[in-house]
Amino acid sequence: MPARFEQMMIAPNANEAALRTVMVELLNTVVFETKRTAKFRTLLKRIERTLKNIEPIFYGYERLRKVLYRPEDETKMFIYYVANGKEVVMECSEIKCWNVYKKFHHANKLIGLDNMLLSFFQSELQDNLSSSRRSLFELYALGDKLDQVLAAVTKQTGGFSDSCSVPGLPDVIIGLDFHLQELKRMLLKDETQIVTVSAPGGCGKTTLVKMLCHDNEIKGIFGDNIFYVTVSRTTSIKTIIQKLFAHFHVNHCELQTDEEAKNQLENFMRQMGSKNILLVLDDVWSESESLIQDLKFPISGYKILVTSRFLFSRFGSTYELTLLNDQDAKTLFCSSAFHNMNSVNVPDDLVNKMVKYCKGFPLALTVIGASLCGQNVVKWRSTLKKWSEEDEKITASALMDMWVESYNLDDEGMYTSEYLLELSSRNLLNLVVTRKDGSELEGYCNEHYVTQHDLLRDLGIHLSSQDPISQRTRLLIEIYKNQIPTWWIQQKQEPMAARLLSITTDESFSSIWYDLNAPNVEVLVLNIRSRKYEIPSFIKKMNKLKVLIITSYGTFPCELHELQFVSSLTNLKRIRLEHLSLSHSIQSILDLYELKKLSIIMCEIGSALASCRNVTLPNLLELEIDRCYDLMEIPSEFCSLKNVKKLSITNCHEIDSLPKELGSLSSLEVLRIHSCTRLVRLPDSIRFLSNLVFLDISDCLSISMLPHQIGELNGLRVIKMSGCRGLEELPDSVIDLCLLEDVICDEETSYLWSYYEEDLCDLNINTVEDDRFANFMKIVSH
């Protein structure tokens, strides 16, 4: 315990004395837990730094008095929260690393504790905070930097997702019951086929339509024939129809033209007989109005429900959603700001002013209320001009890759994970968990998605577009039907200032590029929809490029050409290729000296990797291959990468073996072979992975045994092996896994491990529910 807190002057009144006591106890506890457990260490270190920044305040009598110049009840409430914070810190060591839900919840508690400390002492803390901490604090307060980064890469669903199911409802819905009944009455009129719900962003259009789709009367009329499609700005009629066919599980050849697509969908709907059908088109832009007409078929019982910020008067029936009235607005705001607590001494007139400022927008009411929950009155007054919320999806790992390199954060992604959790706790974004058994060793957000509401996205785009194009640090370009922006065609020789460049093209783009002088770009994001795509040659001049993300949002993988242009980028650190068809030119990225992370997601690989006989990548730390369904083998050349710490080969159902040289990856700490359903066994050389800490073979259905020498993995701490249906026994050497802490498995496998519990004194066997239907689907799919 640092001695300086112990030497503080004797407090002249009870509140100061009590505050001194709880602060001393909290710092003691934080220091102890930081040494005791590796879990949450980043967050605990952050709280420790905050406490040490607060420490000098207790030496200056006037500084402390300024902090305590507030209502006595507010100080007492803060003391109570700090005392409770000590309990939160003590619970850190009890949270299991495999329990992602508890971990998220507890991490948010720690972030809340740190923010509460900063907020209470903020008037005297500004000079003590480091410049980077102040910048981060401003980032959290305003949210605009996040908005701009997310806006650069966020694209609405309408790409390669198969599902057209209706999304779930938010937990709290206020003030929409009347609108639901009116909208339902309008939709169910016999003469009405198309209804548009129109309102500005953030008014609750999407929530209202979801309510209608979940309404019992509507479900009684349309049954399972309610199909929900989110329409992006660049979505075509063919893309929507292909997505619907995928949802119907209809086998159909590739649709060549829009007209063919419309004819096939109309014929399919007619074959459904007398069944009523409801098609929901969410977030239709004005330039996509023709999509509604294209999907209008003269079929009895077939209706279309549209949400848009625009009025489509040609379709007749429009329901203009109004803002919340004062009473409903205040109810919604208070439910978010106070939950089940009282108003924590927030004056009612201040609440009313905040509600009035939100102007009845459910979005603003929810987000601003949540951001003020648990905050003091000073914070409320200082936040009287802020607003926010959520909706669009981007993989968290892609966002983290950009942040790590753009802001010189840690390679492991711990700080970026922490920032995502912080922003999530403030409702500036949502984190969507895709696996319920994610592990801390893999990073907080490695298998999660980030969502953000279109209102925040638009705000971010607006903020990033204030400067002249040549001076913008974040440059977002959208190209429709080969129509290159005029400023680009007429660009003079002066270089662009952009550090982040995002180029989005539609399905008709033919890869006809003009030169672009952008030497300062560090992050390049290419969002594409066409079946074929050529990387622009001007990329070769981007000598500062650190992160390259290429994602296809089309129905089929995009055939990628000119990948060899990347080979000249000597500073490139991270590459993410998603939903692409890769050729033998992938060899050009396997020689990049500075590359630290390579992610290949949902790509058609074929023989591209197998043909690569020269894999150097001397600085590669992480290799990630996921959902590459035609990948049949991992070339042994990849086992020469001596510095790789994380290897992830997941959902690759054609792989039946791993290279026997796998044990040569001497630096490997994390090995994830999740859902490789044909994989029969792990290579015996795995015993040489002396640094391996984490092993995931969950849902590898065909594995029947573990290597006999697996006990030689004397650094192994966690094994995840749920869903290993073929495993019948464990090798005797598992008794030598002396550092093993957690085994996450299904009930049947837990019986095998129970025989070794007495010998492995630190072992915790954590049973997870085995999803037999999911296992069956994996078996029949391969």
HEC readout, 45-101: HHHHHHHHHHHHHHCCHHHHHHHCCCCHHHHHHHHHHHHHHHHHHHHHHHCCCCCHH
Q: Between helices 326-337 and 348-357, what is the axis angle to 10°? A: 110
pLDDT for residue 446 is more than 50: no
- Condensed to tens digits (0 to 9), the pLDDT of residues 19-49 reads 888 898 999 999 998 888 767 777 888 888 8
Tell me the C-alpha distance between 78 and 21, whole Å: 13
Q: If pLDDT is split at 50, 70 and 90, which confidence band does 158 have?
A: very low
Q: Which of 64-78, 404-418, 517-531, 733-747 has the lowest mean pLDDT?
A: 404-418
What is the full DSSP assignment across 237-287?
HHHHHHHHHHHHT---PPP-SHHHHHHHHHHHHHHTTT--EEEEEES--GG
Average confidence score pLDDT of the chain: 80
- In angstroms, the Cα distances linking 310 to 198, 313, 314, 618 are 6, 9, 12, 53
pLDDT, tens only, 50-77: 888 888 887 766 777 778 777 777 788 8
Residue with tokens 């998220």: 104
Ordered DSSP codes for 617-639: -TT--EEEEES-TT-----GGGG
pLDDT at 388 over 60: no
What is the model's pLDDT at position 593? 92
pLDDT of residue 459: 61
Give the dihedral sign, CA 139/140/146/147: negative
SS3 content of the chain, % helix, strand, coil (to 5): 40, 15, 45
Tell me the two tokens of residue 606.
């074929």
For residue 146, is pLDDT > 50? no
- Mean pLDDT over 337-355 rounds to 77
**pLDDT value of position 5:** 43
Neighbours of 574 (CB within 10 A): 25
Higher pLDDT, 185 or 159: 185
> What are the two backbone dihedrals, phi and then psi, of residue 369, each rounded to the nearest 5 degrees?
-60, -45
pLDDT of residue 186: 93
Say whether pLDDT at 680 is over 80: yes
pLDDT grade for 195, boundaries at 50, 70 and 90: very high
Cβ distance 609 to 586 under 8 Å?
yes
Q: Strand, helix or coil at 319?
A: strand
Q: Measured on CA atoms in the order 699, 703, 704, 705, is the torsion positive or negative?
A: negative
Q: What is the pLDDT of residue 220?
A: 92
Cα–Cα distance, 688 to 206 (Å, whole number): 54
Q: Which residues on adjacent β-strands are paired with residue 452?
A: 392
Asked if residues 197 and 183 have their Cβ atoms less than 8 Å apart, the reply is yes
| pLDDT-wise least confident of 397-401, 505-509, 621-625, 663-667 | 397-401
CA angle 490, 491, 496 (to 5 degrees): 160
Using 50, 70 and 90 to split pLDDT, how confident is the model at 387? very low
Confidence of residue 157 (pLDDT cuts 50, 70, 90): very low
Alpha carbon 695 to its chain's center = 23
User: Among 125-139, 258-272, 328-342, 587-601, which range has the highest average pLDDT?
Assistant: 587-601
pTM of the model: 0.60
- Mean pLDDT for 619-639 is 91
Round to whole Å and give the CA distance between 93 and 682. Answer: 32
Least trusted range by pLDDT, from 33-42, 80-89, 678-687: 33-42
pLDDT at residue 530 is higher than 80: yes
Token pair for residue 357? 């400022």
